Amino acid sequence: MSQSVGKLIDENGLRTDGRKPDELRPIKLSIGVLSNADGSAYIEQGKNKILAAVYGPREVHPRHLALADRALLRCRYHMAPFSVDERKSPAPSRREQELSKVIREALEPTIFLEQYPRTSIDLFVEVLQAHGGTRCAGVTVASLALADAGIPMRDLVVACASGKVGGQIVLDLNDIEDKEGEADVPAAYMPNLDAVTLLQMDGMLTIEEFEEALNLAIEGCRHVYALQKETLRAKYVTIKEEVEIE
């Protein structure tokens, strides 16, 4: 581990991709990118490229899965075979199944599922290119797709990771930092309700370090949240400006 310390953070205190410790990767967001889905969104966060599509609420198939008192939220996180350096088998891996569950559970608290009994809301998160932190980017983009589909939500959900790299607490780990670093703390957060809906940790941190990392992750979430809001509004503000200026 001591070997990589010098590499991950250089003498100027910058990281492998030239970022400061508390700096996010550049993020690009857009909504309504797929015409066949009820709602969709796309994110580019550094080298990550992820598409999300939402269908529903609609009838549940197979029928026996339907719940009498609320809607069923189903989520599929999937990585395209070409999303990583070495071809990934397109069959769902154990890791993808776990991330599907984790993303679903991060979004479940925000949706008014109880308003739509006997239906399902199907969410697809397709990773086109992966470079660390795809579960967080997946949650962020999925919540945008849900809002785009017009599904009632308590709040938008944003996710962002922090971690410990080269002995320092840093924000938004990339692939190299995730693999070589000491710890990774992904967190999903509802900014208006001030509630955390996903919190994981991989690696070793002291309690103080963990608190610092969590606070940093939430700080990062707030930045991403501002972008999310901007993206949702942009589509309609443009139309409004176009026609009202005439």
Please report, as ranges, the residues that interact with other proteins according to CB under 8 A.
38-39, 56-59, 68, 110, 112, 116-119, 147-150, 152-156, 190-193, 228-229, 232-233, 236-237, 239-240, 243-244
Whose structure tokens read 């969104």?
Answer: 41
Q: Give least dist CB 101 to other proteins, A.
A: 23
Shortest separation between residue 9's beta carbon and other proteins, angstroms: 35
Q: Which residue, 141 or 156, is less far from other proteins as judged by CB?
A: 156
Q: d(Cα 112, Cα 173) in Å, to the nearest integer?
A: 32
Q: What angle do CA 134, 138, 142 make, to 5 degrees?
A: 175
Number of C-beta neighbours around residue 168 at 10 A: 16
Strand order in the sheet with 27-31: 27-31, 39-45, 48-59, 119-129, 72-79
Q: How far is the CB of 229 from other proteins (least distance, A)?
A: 5
Report whether 190 contacts 154 (CB < 8 A). yes
Q: How far is the CB of 117 from other proteins (least distance, A)?
A: 5
CB-side neighbour CA atoms (13 Å) of 12: 7
Output DSSP code: residue 61: S
- Pick 30 or 119: Cβ nearer other proteins: 119
Q: How far is the CB of 153 from other proteins (least distance, A)?
A: 4
Q: Which is nearer to other proteins, 121 or 185 (CB)?
A: 121
Which of 166/191 has CB closer to other proteins?
191
Q: Please, which residue, 68 or 207, has the CB nearer to other proteins? A: 68
Query: To the nearest whole angstrom, how small is the minimum distance from the Cβ of residue 172 to other proteins?
Result: 22
For residues 75 and 109, what is the distance between their CA atoms, to the nearest angstrom?
Answer: 14
| CB nearer to other proteins: pick between 152 and 167 | 152
Q: Which is nearer to other proteins, 65 or 239 (CB)?
A: 239
CB 151 within 8 A of CB 121: yes
Kindly state the smallest distance separating residue 30's Cβ from other proteins, in Å: 15
> Which two three-digit tokens encode residue 154?
């308590």
Q: Which residue has the tokens 């026996």?
A: 64
What does the alpha-carbon distance between residue 220 and residue 231 come to, in Å, rounded to a whole number? 17
